[in-house]
Amino acid sequence: MNTRVLLIAAIVITAAAADTPAEHIPSAPGGVVEFQGRTSLLMDLGRFDPLVELEGRFEDTNLEFRYRSLTAGAYIRLLKNLKAGAFYRIQQGARHDDDWIEPQTDVWEWVDSRSRTEQILILDVSPRFLFDFLPGRNWVFAVKTRYRYNTFNAQHSLLVRPGLTYFLMRSREPVLNLSFNYGFYIPLNFGETFLYEHEPYLSVLYHLNRNVKLELTGAYKTVIWSTSDDSWANGDTYAVTNRSFVIGFGVLFPVSF
């Protein structure tokens, strides 16, 4: 009888010990559908294209309105098929690796970052190439390369996003853009993986008129969470992959002067 009791107790203790580290690792529900929206004002001033953009996103399984941002800056046309840009972004609700913490309640959770303000400095280079050898001829291939510096945590990152767009024309005016893009987000001084996020996405842009464009996008986003400072201190390491479907809506206002 005593042997049986000791055996059961050993099994319970072993199972509890095996379960304990999992409590220190971020949960990755997967299969979540999130929604985001943006509105942009893009002005055409010859070589200069000033931009102001608002963005917001409903995230997680409970579709919480968490992330929002305001971006302002301008592109300059360096060559016929090459633009460069510099932008300033202020954002709230962003989530980083070190936001996975163990508070005083001993229950691991994400920091509530909805009221935390962060400032981002952005440099952008976007070459474009006409792929008129493809059927339909109205194809443009572009590679957006964007460097970002977050002043909140001094993180440097690089976005490389190749994309192919078809322009449906009518009377030499664009009516519809169909695009496929794949964004790769590379951490330059943080994280434990080569990519911390990547996402293929399709987008449709309808030209309502010359000054209003409507956008619909669908993306499959993969984010890889690396070990937070609190988890390192606790002795746990991980690389947790979180996947979600993101549906986006946008209204764009290009204005020429």
Domains of the chain plus CATH, in order, are: 2-256 (2.40.160)
Q: H or E element: which one contains 136?
A: none
Position 61 confidence tier, pLDDT thresholds 50, 70, 90: confident
DSSP 45: B
Q: Cβ contacts of residue 49 below 8 Å, gap of 6+? A: 42, 43, 74, 75, 76, 77, 83
The CA-to-CA distance between both ends of the chain, in Å, stands at 90
Position 16 confidence tier, pLDDT thresholds 50, 70, 90: very low
pLDDT tens per residue, range 140-161? 999 999 999 999 999 999 999 9
* pLDDT value, residue 102: 85
Which class for 228: exposed (0-12), middle (13-18), buried (19 or more C-beta within 10 A)?
Answer: buried
CA 28 to each of CA 91, 145, 168: distance values in angstroms, whole numbers, following the listed order: 24, 29, 40
**Residue 141: which of 122, 167, 171, 159 has the closest Cα?**
167
Q: Quick check: 88 pLDDT over 80? A: yes
Tally the C-alpha atoms within 13 A of residue 237's C-alpha that lie toward its C-beta: 3
Q: Quick check: 11 pLDDT over 60? A: no
Mean pLDDT of the chain: 90
**Residue 228: which of 101, 95, 60, 93 has the closest Cα?**
101
Q: Quick check: 12 pLDDT over 50? A: no
- 3-class secondary-structure state, position 106: coil
pLDDT tens per residue, range 22-60? 567 887 766 789 999 999 999 999 899 999 999 999 998
* pLDDT value, residue 15: 42
Mean pLDDT of 120-149: 96
Q: Quick check: 194 pLDDT over 90? A: yes
Between 176 and 18, where is the model more confident? 176
* pLDDT value, residue 45: 93
* pLDDT value, residue 2: 57
